[in-house]
């Protein structure tokens, strides 16, 4: 099996995985606090394998309706459609099983690496992609389990229940690359705050819809002057 492991992929993915360890740990703590049975909450790691959505699902469970929790988790993951579209041409040169299996580990970090190495010859890309993806996948399992196991030893005075929202703020600001995304985040946050008192966490959906709409308007506004100049 060692022959199948791509050393370059390990070298590339390790620096991306290390910052994910504290995230996995906090997620493990959130699993412990979740209204879900702990085993089911942890099962989000092997089944869902998407940190932000996992954190949302285990944190919101029990505080909103089942449908609200599902919608929140899915809306966060819609960006994966974009990754899928971006990598589709590269995967066209791969066998069918690689398309099915590879899709399963298509998270932010793996997408970033795959996009960077998209010009590798198909057989090298396959080894590279699967090594990076499953390296992240396997290590993600223990890093979330660690938070789950160590969680009870963490004193309440540390107020780690606020770690998830803080982490989401970090993910928002790190993910902003363009002005319309900044507008989407700002409007999403302001509307989300104004509607935070609504039952069933409806404020998340309200903020998300308002933010996406504002971002799209900003997109067109930014495009118009450029279009008329061309």
Partner 1 sequence: MSFWSSLAIVVTVAAITYAMRACVIVGLAGRTIPVSVERSLRNVGPAVLAALAVNLAAGGEGGLHLEPEVAAALVAAGAVAWWRRSVIWSLSSGMAVLWLVAAIG
Kindly indicate which of the ranges 9-17, 48-56, 119-127, 145-153 contains the residues binding partner 1, using the contact rule CB under 8 A.
48-56
Please say which residue, 151 or 207, places its beta carbon nearer to partner 1: 207
Told to check if 132 binds partner 1 by CB under 8 A, we report: no
Rg, the chain, Cα only: 19
Told to check if 80 binds partner 1 by CB under 8 A, we report: yes
∠ CA 8-13-15, nearest 5°, is: 115
Residue from the set 9, 87, 113, 130 that interacts with partner 1 by CB under 8 A: 87
Told to check if 189 binds partner 1 by CB under 8 A, we report: yes
In whole angstroms, what is the distance from residue 163 CA to residue 147 CA?
13
Burial 159-169 (b: 16+ CB within 10 A, else e): ebeebbeebee
Please say which residue, 7 or 216, places its beta carbon nearer to partner 1: 216
Least distance to partner 1, CB of residue 9, Å: 18
Least distance to partner 1, CB of residue 128, Å: 16
Told to check if 136 binds partner 1 by CB under 8 A, we report: no
Phi/psi at 64 (nearest 5 deg)?
-145, 170
Residue from the set 24, 147, 151, 215 that interacts with partner 1 by CB under 8 A: 215
Told to check if 118 binds partner 1 by CB under 8 A, we report: no
CA–chain centroid gap for 147, Å, is 18
Please say which residue, 91 or 136, places its beta carbon nearer to partner 1: 91
Contact mark string toward partner 1, 93..112, x via CB under 8 A: ------xx-xxx-x------
């Amino acid at each position: 099996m060692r022959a199948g492991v791509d050393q370059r992929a390990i070298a590339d993915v390790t620096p991306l995985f290390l910052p994910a360890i504290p995230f996995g740990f906090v997620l493990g703590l959130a699993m412990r606090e979740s209204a879900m049975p702990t085993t089911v909450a942890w099962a989000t790691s092997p089944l869902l394998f998407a940190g932000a959505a996992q954190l949302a699902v285990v944190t919101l469970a029990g505080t909103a309706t089942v449908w609200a929790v599902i919608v929140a988790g899915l809306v966060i993951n819609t960006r994966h459609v974009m990754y899928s579209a971006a990598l589709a041409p590269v995967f066209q040169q791969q066998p069918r099983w690689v398309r099915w299996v590879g899709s399963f580990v298509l998270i932010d970090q793996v997408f970033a690496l795959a996009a960077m190495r998209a010009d590798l010859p198909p057989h090298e890309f396959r080894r590279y992609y699967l090594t990076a993806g499953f390296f992240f996948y396997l290590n993600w399992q223990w890093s979330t389990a660690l938070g789950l196991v160590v969680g009870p030893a963490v004193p309440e005075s540390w107020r780690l229940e606020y770690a998830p929202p803080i982490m989401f703020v970090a993910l928002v600001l790190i993910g902003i690359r363009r002005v319309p995304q900044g507008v989407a985040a700002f409007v999403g946050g302001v509307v989300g705050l104004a509607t935070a008192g609504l039952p069933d966490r409806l404020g998340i959906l309200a903020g998300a819809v308002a933010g996406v709409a504002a971002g799209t308007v900003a997109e067109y506004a930014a495009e118009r002057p450029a279009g008329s100049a061309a």
